Each structure stands twice: as structure tokens, then as C-alpha cells.
Structure 1
């Protein structure tokens, strides 16, 4: 399952979500601004609360909008 950790009004978060949709990649959005559990999970994953964070396996992640790394991680 692909997860995108995001916040409200984040242009880079929107770019990641739009890109994933354009590639027909299903994902769950986890808003760390609205949910403390999601914020804690993001922090546990990365050691920070910078967003967007995209993860496929709750272990490896991509920070920000890095198309090449997203494609690599997702096998696109």
C-alpha cells in the first residue's frame, strides 16, 4: 500500500498526489496536520515531520516530489 503523508495547503503534497493519480497508483493520504497518529507514524518513519513523504512499504520513503525516485520505488 502506498501512503502519502501530507499537510493542508501544501503544493508539493498536491503534486505528489496528482502524479500518483496520473500513473493510476492507488494511495492512502495521511494528513499529519489533522491526525496525531499519522504525525507520529511519519516521525517514526523519517525522524522528522517534513512532507510530503511517500512510502510503499512503511520503510523506504521519498521526501518531496522526486519523480525519478517515486518511479523507481513504485516500479514505474
Structure 2
């Protein structure tokens, strides 16, 4: 199991932006496709306290459920982006 999980909705443009960033950085992640109905998104609510997607969970860095695509992308760039890969020699 990957340390990163993404709760997403098929066809969601905000989810696509996050997936594109994950792929760009080269991170493996586990995708959880959720229901179109907000009422049926208990797993998202448990992770983040709300039912919107995308939501990112990063077990390695104790991120329990980060919502908002722009916040997720900024977090991924800061935590895993080019400068971090250069520091670790990856």
C-alpha cells in the first residue's frame, strides 16, 4: 500500500489537476473513487471532515485528510517537488 491516498471523483477537473501533479512528481498513490452523491461519501468525511473531493492522505507525513486541490498541489510541490528530490539525490 502506498503512503499516499487520493479520494477522487471520476471526471472531476480538480481531482485531475492533483493526479497530474502526482504523476509529474512521480509519486505512487492509491486512488479511491467516490460516489457522485455527497451523502454516500462517508470515507471522505472520515478522512477530512467534509465530503468534497479531492482529498489527500499522506501517512508518511501525518496528513490525515487535506482538501482543496490548490492546497494539495502546493503541499506536494513543497514536500516532494524538485528541490526535495535534489536534496535526497533521487
Alignment TM class, shorter chain as reference = 0.7 to 0.9
Q: Corresponding residue for 1:65? A: 70
Answer yes or no: is the 8 Å Cα contact 1:5–1:52 preserved in 2.
yes
Normalised to the residue count of structure 2, the TM-score between the two structures is 0.66
Structure 2 spans left out of the alignment, 5+ residues = 82-90
TM-score, normalised on structure 1? Answer: 0.76
Over 3 Å off, 4+ runs: none
- The number of residues matched between the two structures is 72
The RMSD of aligned alpha carbons is 2.2
- Structure with higher RCO (Cα < 8 A, 6+ apart): 1
* Structure 1: tracts of 5 or more residues without a match: none
When Rg is computed on C-alpha atoms for both structures, the one with the higher figure is: 2
The structure richer in helix per residue is: 2
